[in-house]
Amino acid sequence: MISEEYFYAIALRECSQIGDINFYKLVRTFGSAQEAWKRAKKEYRKIEGLGQKTVADIGNKEHLTFAEKELKYCEKNNIRITIRHLNELPALLNECADAPAILYQKGNYENSTPKISIVGTRNMTAYGRQFIEDFFEAAQSSRFISVSGLALGIDKEVHEKSIQYRKPTIAVLAHGFQFLYPAKNRKLSERILQEGGCLITEFNSSRKPDRENFIQRNRIVAGISPSTIVVETGFGGGSVSTAAFANDYNREVFALPGKITDPYSQGCNQLIFHNKAIAISTIKDLVNMLGFNHPKEKTGELFPYYETSAQLTENQHIIYKIIKENPQITLDDLSQEAAVSSYKILPIILELELLGKVKSFSGRQFMAI
């Protein structure tokens, strides 16, 4: 029975050495969590890379007791349990090698609707707030679900603007459903559910919002969507890790550039500089690159598009001309063609991206716009 599979999946995932990847190895080998629970301790040699220590905690009756309580809690609180090996996870997330074995969900969303992850610092500035406002206004005629992490700052703004513009929104939590962090966002979480959105977490109901959970949570934010937008973040901010996960999953990453003196733009600038994100030059271009049709024009847009050609410096003109003549040229080929070291070319590429003249792709490839 499927209900029994949930029961054994929860118990198996509670075992001390069984993370998401080992869990998936076990169920692929034995066919189900129930069979893995019964057989893995004796037959672990069937799985390459799994030793006796890894399976030592399987069969612990305490985990079965916990699983029974967890099932009752979820049933009482209208929490849906989705299992990866039963193909119940969102399709894109399921493709990730380290996708969660179990996902707990409160509320519902249409899985086929396109998703966009939008993340950033808790210390949002007026610049970041204005960008989010302009983005939702420009994209209001498009159908999509926003995804963020229910933190203060950028995340909170994304969820609130989603509600304002009648877009479903998914909040990915870094803890179980017995908690709500930060507590200030409790009313927001309730509104998300009331307006047709969803709260999801990989953590069981009793799991507290420990520090390490937040980075772990970020891989779900990155994995669930084909595109991630980083609005504002400092050096080493949590959103940088979300961008790193998105790059690992071969997803598109966009970053909002800012002044090099602004601490909460420095992380975005670094992502762009190291070719880990595409620079956002105009809202119109961003909406088009996301595949949305007919973005709404806004008078006095924050990032206006000029039809007149920007005056390029000599170095910018040389690099731009080569890229224009060789669509999707790689950095190495560009360096060879221009007879200039790649480390000298990268700052010029960033300048051209900021001018809206060049678009970068994964694998350090470039194309003239």
- Are 214 and 152 found together in one domain? yes
- 307 within domain boundaries: no
* Concatenated DSSP letters of 320-351: HHHHHHSTTEEHHHHHHHHTS-HHHHHHHHHH
pLDDT at position 1, please? 44
- 215 within domain boundaries: yes
- 61 within domain boundaries: yes
Question: In this model, does residue 41 exceed pLDDT 90?
Answer: no
Average pLDDT over residues 193-209: 96
Residue 267 has a CB neighbour count (10 Å cut-off) of 25
212: amino acid identity, one letter = E
Cα dihedral 335/339/343/344 (nearest 10): -120
CATH assignment at residue 36: 1.10.150.20
pLDDT at position 308, please? 39
pLDDT at position 362, please? 67
CATH assignment at residue 141: 3.40.50.450
Average pLDDT over residues 192-208: 96
- Are 27 and 121 found together in one domain? no
| Of the candidate ranges 17-26, 189-198, 335-344, the one whose mean pLDDT is the lowest | 335-344
**CA–CA dist 67, 328 (Å, integer):** 51
Question: pTM of the entire structure?
Answer: 0.79
Strand order in the sheet with 329-330: 329-330, 365-368, 358-361
Phi, psi of 329 (to 5 degrees): -70, 145
- Are 136 and 270 found together in one domain? yes
pLDDT at position 283, please? 93
- The confidence band for 300, taking pLDDT boundaries of 50, 70 and 90, is very low
Going by C-beta distance under 8 Å and a sequence separation of 6 or more, which residues neighbour residue 159?
146, 148, 150, 169, 171, 188, 192, 197
| Of the candidate ranges 77-86, 207-216, 227-236, 339-348, the one whose mean pLDDT is the lowest | 339-348
Average pLDDT over residues 323-330: 87
Average pLDDT of the chain, as a whole number: 90
Average pLDDT over residues 172-177: 97
For 21, the token pair is 């990847």
Of 76, 96, 120, the residue that ends a domain is 76
Domain that holds residue 11: 4-76
- Are 285 and 319 found together in one domain? no
pLDDT at position 188, please? 97
**Whether 114 contacts 167, CB under 8 Å:** no
- 92 within domain boundaries: no
Average pLDDT over residues 56-84: 95
Average pLDDT over residues 116-127: 96
Q: Which residue has the tokens 């994304």?
A: 158
Give the count of domains, the chain: 3
Question: In this model, does residue 99 exceed pLDDT 80?
Answer: yes
Phi, psi of 279 (to 5 degrees): -70, 135
- Are 286 and 318 found together in one domain? no
> Can you say whether the dihedral through the CA atoms of 145, 151, 152, 153 is positive or negative?
negative
Q: Are strands 198-201 and 227-230 parallel, antiparallel or unpaired?
A: unpaired
For 201, the token pair is 């977490």
Going by C-beta distance under 8 Å and a sequence separation of 6 or more, which residues neighbour residue 136?
161, 162, 164, 165, 167
- The confidence band for 221, taking pLDDT boundaries of 50, 70 and 90, is very high
pLDDT at position 265, please? 95
For 239, the token pair is 């959103």
Give the DSSP letter of residue 276.
S
Q: Which residue has the tokens 């479903």?
A: 168
pLDDT at position 306, please? 42
- Are 202 and 286 found together in one domain? yes
Give the DSSP letter of residue 279.
E
For 43, the token pair is 């037959």
pLDDT at position 51, please? 87
- Are 333 and 256 found together in one domain? no
- Are 135 and 220 found together in one domain? yes
- 84 within domain boundaries: no
pLDDT at position 193, please? 97
Share of the chain above pLDDT 90, in %: 70
- Are 45 and 114 found together in one domain? no
Phi, psi of 323 (to 5 degrees): -65, -40
- 83 within domain boundaries: no
- 299 within domain boundaries: no
- The confidence band for 305, taking pLDDT boundaries of 50, 70 and 90, is very low
pLDDT at position 312, please? 84
Average pLDDT over residues 21-33: 93
- Are 114 and 233 found together in one domain? yes
Average pLDDT over residues 38-66: 90
Q: Are strands 145-148 and 358-361 parallel, antiparallel or unpaired?
A: unpaired
- Are 112 and 51 found together in one domain? no
Q: Which residue has the higher pLDDT, 311 or 72?
A: 72
Q: Are strands 329-330 and 278-279 parallel, antiparallel or unpaired?
A: unpaired
CATH assignment at residue 327: 1.10.10.10
Share of the chain above pLDDT 70, in %: 94
- Are 123 and 43 found together in one domain? no
Question: In this model, does residue 200 exceed pLDDT 80?
Answer: yes
For 93, the token pair is 């997330």
Q: Which residue has the tokens 């047709």?
A: 196
**CA–CA dist 106, 86 (Å, integer):** 19
Side-chain-side CA neighbours of residue 364 (13 Å): 12
Average pLDDT over residues 335-354: 84
Residue 367 has a CB neighbour count (10 Å cut-off) of 14
pLDDT at position 343, please? 76
- 235 within domain boundaries: yes
For 356, the token pair is 């809206």
Q: Which of 109, 100, 106 is nearest to 177 (CA)?
A: 106
